[in-house]
A and B are shown apart, each in its own frame.
Chain A
């Protein structure tokens, strides 16, 4: 048996049905490139390449890489949301987060990190830290120009480089940041309301007690 008969061949390409001038396709192709060359000089929309160091393409809000720490207000130390609970440290799959809790001289927790290091050379951008954080503190960043000539120190980010303001977060990912800001505001309001209610209750209790005292006192005096 002829071995070549067992091989499946691709169907022949369709023949051009209408008769056309020989070489017409070549001329059409030349026309396309000529149009490209000429129009590229005056039609801006043809040139889709972004000239990178001078200009940058806008990054999508869905773009996420290395984490950063969020702080409220303008002071990166006082406003830091992180409480050094070290949940992210424990959840981090490649173990790239290192946290040391800050304590005062009596050994009492100050509920803030003294050291918060992320080794970007280890981080795998999974975003688990930002998902597990109960304090809305850690989020994924949109920074991508992180190349450095110092592969140890240059990629070990401490608090100074990780702390970024809530405004930055709002700018980077408006949808998520707005949602979180609203929730935090509501929580704050609730807390304040609860506090106010507690205060009012305490005041009322005190008044009641005072009244009882006032009512009982004359009896005692008289006794």
Chain B
């Protein structure tokens, strides 16, 4: 078949805005098909283009976010922020990139150079892999994986490996300390993160992310979207997921691994130039992926927030929700000071994990009660009473007011 015939036989919806982000992929596939390429090559090339789209979108989003973050933080401190490069500082990411590229690349004498080189490269890979399975729109799922959620968490765990690689290979104390902190923090917070996602899996009955989004379609009472967040167990799990995702993304107030006032820059201390930029990129891509997963699990993914908005392409809703979540991250970063390491651990193990575990029976009860008033009546006390006990009684009345440091005091 010729290219023209292929295009004529293709889905007429190809040219709709809904399909816009997948247009390059489909066009490449059609082009290769009309050239008579074998099926595996067509699929492979299409996947490459799909991956390229995702990487391109999120790298430009990273550049934009680095500017927006600086601007927002500046506004929160009553400053203007970067406004020199280009119109309102719009070229600041470009200037940053040029600066990072032209900086000297230093490898410490005691570093293990291969690991030192591999760590910043490997830290970018897991977030990009994780971004590949998220459904961005009704038609825009870069890679359809049946066990998408499992894949996401499995790949996301790899970040810890490269963080520790960076800390170990630098051959210096601060990176080592930072990596230790990062490992303990990420391992502690991955637990509530995954457990809070279990409720969603139970209610949906699938690990496929498109299926989870499809399950959240529709509206209660005609206007409240049927997202998981608007159920008692979903609200609880969503908040836990939100807090844990801040810690997973190494964001303030849980940015202990790179606490610059304490351990210089943590595992990134011995990195300069573009390797440092890669760490930053990895961190921001990780932020996008974890926020994107949060949107998918609890905020209905690409579902429109109000009925009658179906005309707007679904991926716009996804990115709007992602932007809201990320702006809330910025807001939190502008407000809260960094927590102490013992507060961090205490919060994860004594508050988040018990609460996350409780969302599992709550989700089960909700599922078998079929939602509705009965579900609310059964699950709200189940979640609220332990929460009050944990926050008010345990973490407030019984928390130590002063902290003793075993080694520093003796």
> Which A residues contact B (CB, under 8 angstroms)?
3-4, 7, 9-10, 12-13, 15, 22-23, 26, 29-30, 32-34, 36-37, 40-41, 46-49, 51
Chain A residue contacts of B75, Cβ below 8 A: 36-37, 40-41
In the docked arrangement, what's the CA distance between A7 and B51, Å? 60
Cβ-defined contact, A29 with B336, below 8 A: yes
Chain B residue contacts of A23, Cβ below 8 A: 391
B60-82 contact mask (Cβ, 8 Å, vs A): 1 or 0: 00000000000010011111100
Residue of A4, A9, A22, A37 near B72 (CB, 8 A) is A37
Q: How far apart are B270's CB and chain A's nearest CB, in angstroms?
A: 33
Cβ-defined contact, B76 with A48, below 8 A: no
Stretch touching chain A among B9-17, B204-212, B396-404:
B396-404
Cβ-defined contact, B76 with A33, below 8 A: yes
Q: Which residues in chain B, 354-410, are within 8 Å of chain A measured between CB atoms? A: 391-392, 396, 401-402, 404, 409-410
Closest chain B residue, CB of each to CB of A6? B409
Q: Taking A4-B404, A4-B409, A4-B410 as contacts, is the C-beta distance between A36 and B331 under 8 angstroms?
A: no
**26 residue pairs bridging A and B, Cβ less than 8 Å apart:** A3-B409, A3-B410, A4-B404, A4-B409, A4-B410, A9-B402, A10-B402, A12-B402, A13-B401, A26-B336, A29-B335, A30-B331, A33-B76, A33-B334, A33-B335, A34-B331, A36-B75, A36-B78, A36-B334, A37-B331, A37-B334, A40-B75, A40-B79, A47-B80, A48-B78, A51-B80
Closest chain B residue, CB of each to CB of A2? B410
Chain A residue contacts of B312, Cβ below 8 A: none
Chain B residue contacts of A49, Cβ below 8 A: 78-80
B315-342 contact mask (Cβ, 8 Å, vs A): 1 or 0: 0000000000000000110111000000
Chain B residue contacts of A22, Cβ below 8 A: 391-392, 396
Interface SS, A side = loop
Q: How far apart are A53's CB and chain B's nearest CB, in angstroms?
A: 10
Cβ-defined contact, B78 with A40, below 8 A: yes
> Which B residues contact A (CB, under 8 angstroms)?
72, 75-80, 331-332, 334-336, 391-392, 396, 401-402, 404, 409-410
Q: How far apart are B381's CB and chain A's nearest CB, in angstroms?
A: 17
Cβ-defined contact, A47 with B401, below 8 A: no
Chain B residue contacts of A9, Cβ below 8 A: 402
Q: How far apart are B402's CB and chain A's nearest CB, in angstroms?
A: 6
Closest chain A residue, CB of each to CB of B409? A4
In the docked arrangement, what's the CA distance between A29 and B401, Å? 21
In the docked arrangement, what's the CA distance between A26 and B72, Å? 19
Closest chain A residue, CB of each to CB of B78? A46
Given A23-B391, A34-B331, 11 more A-B residue pairs with CB atoms under 8 Å apart are: A3-B409, A4-B404, A7-B409, A12-B402, A33-B76, A33-B335, A36-B76, A36-B77, A37-B331, A37-B334, A51-B80
In the docked arrangement, what's the CA distance between A51 and B396, Å? 46
Closest chain A residue, CB of each to CB of B74? A40
Cβ-defined contact, A12 with B396, below 8 A: no
Closest chain B residue, CB of each to CB of A53? B84
Query: What 9 A-B pairs have minimum CB-CB distances, sorted nearest first?
Result: A12-B401, A22-B391, A33-B335, A37-B75, A33-B76, A40-B75, A46-B78, A33-B334, A29-B335
Cβ-defined contact, A47 with B331, below 8 A: no
Q: How far apart are B387's CB and chain A's nearest CB, in angstroms?
A: 9
Q: How far apart are B305's CB and chain A's nearest CB, in angstroms?
A: 21
Cβ-defined contact, A30 with B335, below 8 A: yes
Q: How far apart are A70's CB and chain B's nearest CB, in angstroms?
A: 38
Q: Taking A9-B402, A12-B401, A47-B80 as contacts, is the C-beta distance between A33 and B331 under 8 angstroms?
A: yes
In the docked arrangement, what's the CA distance between A4 and B75, Å? 46
Closest chain B residue, CB of each to CB of A12? B401
Cβ-defined contact, B401 with A15, below 8 A: yes
In the docked arrangement, what's the CA distance between A52 and B392, Å? 50
Chain B residue contacts of A12, Cβ below 8 A: 401-402
Chain A residue contacts of B72, Cβ below 8 A: 37
Closest chain A residue, CB of each to CB of B390? A22
In the docked arrangement, what's the CA distance between A109 and B203, Å? 104
Closest chain B residue, CB of each to CB of A23? B391
Chain A residue contacts of B409, Cβ below 8 A: 3-4, 7
Q: Which residue, A10, A13, A30, A48, has most C-beta atoms of chain B within 10 A? A: A30
Chain A residue contacts of B331, Cβ below 8 A: 30, 33-34, 37
Q: How far apart are A97's CB and chain B's nearest CB, in angstroms?
A: 40
Closest chain B residue, CB of each to CB of A15? B401
Chain B residue contacts of A13, Cβ below 8 A: 401
In the docked arrangement, what's the CA distance between A30 and B80, Å? 19
Cβ-defined contact, A47 with B79, below 8 A: yes
